[in-house]
Amino acid sequence: MQEAFAPGAIAKRVADRHEISTGLLFTWRRQAMASAGLNFLPVQVSPDSARVPAAQPRPASGPDGVIEIDMPSGARVRVGHGVDLKVLRGVLAALDGH
Domain count, the chain: 2
**Residue 80 clears pLDDT 80, i.e. is over it:** yes
Residue pLDDT, tens place only, 13-68: 988 988 889 998 888 888 777 776 656 666 666 665 454 454 454 454 444 577 88
pLDDT computed for residue 93 by the predictor: 84
**Residue 89 clears pLDDT 50, i.e. is over it:** yes
Cβ neighbours around 25 below 10 Å, total: 20
Which phi and psi (to 5°) does residue 2 adopt?
-60, -35
Distances (CA, A) of 33 to 15, 16, 25, 89: 18, 22, 12, 21
Shared domain for 68 and 91, answered yes or no, is: yes
Establish if 19 belongs to a structural domain. yes
Shared domain for 52 and 87, answered yes or no, is: yes
pLDDT computed for residue 39 by the predictor: 64
Whole-model pTM above 0.75? no
What is the full DSSP assignment across 4-64? HHSTT--HHHHHHHTT--HHHHHHHHHHHHH-TT----------HHHHS-TTSPPPTTS-S
Shared domain for 55 and 27, answered yes or no, is: no
| pLDDT greater at residue 96 or residue 9 | 9
**Domain enclosing residue 86, as ranges:** 48-96
pLDDT computed for residue 46 by the predictor: 65
